[in-house]
Structure 1
Amino acid sequence: MKILRVIASMNPKQGGPCQGIRNAIPELLKLGVENEVVCFDELDADYLGKDSFKIYAIGGAKNPWRYNSKLIPWLLNNFAGYDAVIVHGLWQYHSHAAIKAMRVYRKSKKASPKIYIMPHGMLDPYFQKAKERRLKALRNEVYWRLFENKVVNGADGILFTCEEELLLARTAFANYNPKKEINAGYGIQPPPHNNPNNKKAFAEKVPKWKGEPFFLFLSRIHQKKGVDLLIKAYLRLEKELSELPQLIIAGPVDHAYGHEILKLGETSENILFTGMLTGAAKWGAFYESEAFVLPSHQENFGIAVVEALACKKPVLISNKVNIWREIEKEKGGIVKNDNEEETYELLKKWLSFSEVEKSKMAINAIKVYQEYFTIAQAARQFLKGINP
């Protein structure tokens, strides 16, 4: 079987969907499934040639919709080489173009690949309700009426990463009538085993780290991630407790909101900003932490959450992280609402645990990963979904 992935960008800095693709492809290859990718990145992008699978970069896109006139001709010329097409993401030109191209192709061909849309949380009602997204929510309403409902309802199926995402998608827009809804699952490759190089790489990146376990936030620095709630809760605890683990915030801050967050955290010497961590330094951050924290307002899956679980780290998360039910059920972390008061309670509850309780939760954390979120399980569930 051969699958084509259609996505706006495969730049590793984008995280999310492109990282999910990179996680899945090696495991699918073990099952006899070959994958290739077409995207809108420039032909000289520095990441090209570093992956084990073929990426067709057809050049950059124009305007906020990411229009690229080369995509439809490329798809029409190449559909015949694939058994299935997976379109990753919505609200940009590539999803509209893929469905439009498939309609054209099917008019002249008796056989054509199945086409599926994987929205990666982009049908979550949060995006239509968040106060800071009013203009984008209005744009989405317009796009939905003009293009996106035809994409969603015209595909052979919609692939969701978990049951929670599937259920939430039904509540966002009128005229939502997909032909098929599929809980395709999601997972990550096992993390590398811990070794001294991880700790060394992390320490070099974070020279102010005291060498003791800490709270870790590792994600994009974005309004929806709740990092402001985390910092405010931490500052409140600092006033109440004489000793507190350091809070390490790993993520790019070279943008307007990042500067706001830097200013919010600069009053504490115990809040450290590392910028983006990759490779050994990233795994060092996971392994040297005592708990991973993400009080997000919306998180479709949360790859970093699962990476923490796989590193035997309890996760302190909001119930807007769509895999919270599995984590709470198996006691691999603590779950609260996504507001300042409950984020404070999230940290305080963890700090109230004995070392025995913390160790037990750490054991539960890796069990959650092994039971629900390995890439092998996800690959089998994915294939079952598109080949029932």
Structure 2
Amino acid sequence: MRILHIIRTINPEAGGPIEGVRTLIRYRDLGYHGEVVTQDDPNAPYLKGLDFPVHALGPVNSTYGYTSKMIPWMKANRHRFDGAVVNGLWNYGGFAAYRALAGHLPYVVFPHGMLDPYFKSAYPLKHLKKLLYWLPTEYWVLRAANYVLFTSRAEKELAEKTFPVWSWTPHIVPYGADHPRISKEDAQRVFFEHAPELRDKRFLLFLGRIHPKKGVDLMIEAFTQTAHLDPDLHLVVAGPDQVNWRPELQAMVNSAGLTSRVHWPGMLKGDLKWGAFYASEAFILPSHQENFGIAVAEALACGKPVLLSDQVNIAGDIKADYAGIVEQDTLQGTLNLFNRWRELSPEDRARMYQQASSTFSTRYDMRENAKTILRLFEEAKAK
């Protein structure tokens, strides 16, 4: 079955949805043959060396990503596909799919958390702009979709609170990550070659965009307040700094005299990423809003417990499974994450490590997501 993924960019620095698309397309053994259409500049360096077709119709001049090429391209190519997946909202790709595919090719939409009411309170001016766009455009993109795919019941229920008028056909789809395709030993070797200062160090790992939404400032502050209680513990903050926030965060670390214990290895991809997960004690994400968190699933795939805020939509599953620790997305809550992890007995830690792998296998193996998407398109074609 041939599936077209529509996404604003395939740049790895743009976050989890891109990794989700890349992972889904790997499951050719299931009959999942994917192509991607984006608004990227076709000369972008991150498009080189990919093992799946990408049709880059940019460059574009705005985050909305309007390009006159997209609707004609979709109309000319829709006959080649069995279905399309629109990844994300608030960009021209979704509207183009609505105009070019509705009534001709089944399509589904993954909002990827972009309907969460958190953004309404966190960014009220942006929400006003979205309101102006909602009824004329985005509402119809979602209403015409065969399904709007949510990765958890929490995401589905939150999405219904964001706009006063909404209409779509929801479906909850298991989301997740791929298994590491490198051994633990080889991955760690690659990582320590990249970051030799962390060899033989105990550390907690944050891996994601260095962005206020992720609660990185809470994590840094909580670490500075608890570091003296566990002098051998380090913190690794890995990811792209798209908003130039690191200098301010680094100043907090320096003021606390912890410069040598907080590490900033930049964005980690591929084997480096897996090596960081394997080398860590646990993964930490005190986010203020997280639809799913692919890095959470990746940590579990490496057998690592996850320390999360309760604003990560799968936190309830993690808590129920005892695959990690969940607290509020406040400074006190983040302090509790560090303190509770430190205070776990060796027996409780061993149990949590074992459960992390089990939770990944039963809940978050992305192969199940691929099977579900294929089944939904098969059902749509049969109607």
The TM-score normalised by the length of structure 2 is 0.93
1:309/1:368 contact within 8 Å kept:
yes
Number of the residue aligned with 1:50: 49
| Separation in 2, partners of 1:238, 1:195 | 28
Residue of 224, 228, 244 corresponding to 1:235: 224
| Identity among equivalent pairs (%) | 38
Distance 1:385 1:319, change over 3 A: farther
1:128/1:134 contact within 8 Å kept:
yes
C-alpha displacement of 1:177? 0.8
- AA in 2 matched with 1:33: Y
1:184/1:385 contact within 8 Å kept:
no
Deviations 1:248-283 (A, max 9, x none): 111123642233222222331311111112233222
Residue of 234, 244, 248 corresponding to 1:256: 244
C-alpha displacement of 1:205? 3.0
- AA in 2 matched with 1:12: P
- Structure 2 residues without counterparts, runs of 5 or longer: none
| Separation in 2, partners of 1:49, 1:209 | 31
| Separation in 1, partners of 2:139, 2:44 | 32
The TM-score normalised by the length of structure 1 is 0.92
- AA in 2 matched with 1:215: L
Q: How do 1:92-111 and structure 2 match up within 5 A?
A: 92-103=91-102, 106=103
| Separation in 2, partners of 1:322, 1:251 | 21
| Separation in 2, partners of 1:33, 1:251 | 30
Q: How do 1:135-214 and structure 2 match up within 5 A?
A: 135-178=125-168, 180-209=169-198, 211-214=200-203
Number of the residue aligned with 2:207: 218
C-alpha displacement of 1:210? 5.5
Q: How do 1:264-303 and structure 2 match up within 5 A?
A: 264-267=252-255, 268-269=258-259, 270-303=261-294
1:294/1:317 contact within 8 Å kept:
yes
Q: Does 1:19 align with 2:35?
A: no
2:297/2:364 contact within 8 Å kept:
yes
Number of the residue aligned with 1:84: 83
- AA in 2 matched with 1:22: R
The number of residue pairs the alignment matches comes to 376
> Which has the higher mean CA deviation after the structures are superposed, 116-125 or 160-169?
160-169
> Which has the higher mean CA deviation after the structures are superposed, 160-169 or 186-195?
186-195
C-alpha displacement of 1:242? 5.4
Distance 1:235 1:385, change over 3 A: same
Distance 1:176 1:163, change over 3 A: same
1:253/1:262 contact within 8 Å kept:
no
Q: Secondary structure at the match of 1:246?
A: strand
Deviations 1:81-117 (A, max 9, x none): 22211111101111112112235xx4xxxxx211211
| Separation in 2, partners of 1:242, 1:277 | 26
Deviations 1:6-39 (A, max 9, x none): 1111122223112101111122x22223211111
1:218/1:304 contact within 8 Å kept:
yes
Number of the residue aligned with 2:235: 247
Runs of 4+ in 1 over 4 A off after TM superposition: none
> Which has the higher mean CA deviation after the structures are superposed, 270-279 or 192-201?
192-201
1:123/1:168 contact within 8 Å kept:
yes
| Separation in 2, partners of 1:325, 1:143 | 33
2:177/2:366 contact within 8 Å kept:
yes
| Separation in 1, partners of 2:71, 2:271 | 40
- Structure 1 residues without counterparts, runs of 5 or longer: 107-111
Q: Does 1:316 align with 2:307?
A: yes
